[in-house]
Each structure stands twice: as structure tokens, then as C-alpha cells.
Amino acid sequence: MSVVSLLQQMHDSEFGTALRESLYMFPLIEGIHLIGLALSVGLIIVTDLRLIGGFLKEVPVADVLKQLRPWLLAGFVITFVTGILLLWAEGPRMWAIPVFPIKLVLIVLAGLNAIWFEYKYGRTVHDWGAHVHFPKGAKLAGWVSLVSWSAVVVCGRLIPYLEATQH
């Protein structure tokens, strides 16, 4: 089954139709998606800026991660769940906009980068996180995250504008 046919099946389902045609649910889910995005990506940016040495230099990285991680993950879960619901309702239309698949690839890249950081550096952050100089890989993970999540947001904002040019 192709991606397009799966998205079409989701779109044509009772749930997809009800969600898409709801006067209140679709805009509510879209609004919650943006709030979750602001929470998760906003806190990711704070964390990344700390990793690259551009913000909160006097606060150990372990403290930043400990304080922000639960909120960041909650925002990510909200964004992920609402994103799936929005895709369920509007999948074929979204897939036809060239920047949308790019956005998905960037999300995967950012996620793989986060997993790599956690595996390689996150478990030992108490050993290196209070030092002036961090491992180069941790700094690189911060840059990759900062760039990829920023690009995800730009791609997301481009979707309605690029869709408007297709008509």
C-alpha cells in the first residue's frame, strides 16, 4: 500500500470525514497542535542554545535538561498526537504540497539526532555538563537540532502559502 492510498483511506474514513467537517474539532486540534509545537520546539531551542553555549552559560546542562525535559516531552506528545489527527483529516491534500514530505523527513532527522544525543551524551551529562567546554558531539547535536527543528517550523508555515499557489 502506498503512502497516498493509506492517507486517502484515512481521509475517507468516518473519523477523517467527521474531523475534517467538524466546525469546532478541526480548528481546536490545529490550535492545540500549535500550542504543543510552541512548547516543545520553544524548549528545544532553549536546550539547544545551552548546548551550543549561546544561552544560560552559568547553568549546568544537566539542570537545564532536568527542568525542561518533562515539559518538552509533553509538548512533543501533544504535537505528535494532534499532527496525526490533522494528517488523518487532511492527508492527501497535505502530501500533495511538496514541502510537507520535507517537513516529515526533517522531523525524523531531528528525532534521530535526539536519540543519538541521549544515547551518546544524555546519560553522562552529569559528567560533562558543568564544564566550560562540552564534547564536540554534544555541541553538534545542539546545532543539528536547532537547524532541523527551525526548518520543520519554516516548512510548516510554508504549507498554507504553497498550497495557495497550487490552485
DSSP assignment of 72-137 equals: HHHHHHHHHHHHHHHHHHHHHHHHTSTHHHHHHHHHHHHHHHHHHHHHHTGGGHHHHTTSSS--HH
Q: Say what the pLDDT of residue 151 is.
A: 97
Of 162, 29, 151, 153, which is closest to residue 87 (Cα–Cα)? 29
Q: What is the mean pLDDT of residues 26-49?
A: 95
Q: Say what the pLDDT of residue 112 is.
A: 97
Q: Whole-structure pTM over 0.75, yes or no?
A: yes
Ramachandran quadrant class, 76 (left: phi over 0; alpha: psi -120 to 50; beta: rest): alpha
Q: Say what the pLDDT of residue 78 is.
A: 97
Cα atoms in the Cβ-side hemisphere of radius 13 Å centred on 66: 10
Q: Say what the pLDDT of residue 122 is.
A: 84
What is the rounded distance in angstroms from the CA atom of residue 17 to the CA atom of residue 96? 18
pLDDT in tens, 107-164: 999 999 999 999 998 888 887 767 767 888 999 999 999 999 999 999 999 998 887 6
Q: What is the mean pLDDT of residues 83-93?
A: 94
Number of structural domains, the chain?
A: 1
Q: What is the mean pLDDT of residues 20-31?
A: 94
Q: Which domain does 19 fall in, by range?
A: 3-165
Of 47, 67, 39, which is closest to residue 121 (Cα–Cα)? 47
Mean pLDDT of the chain: 91
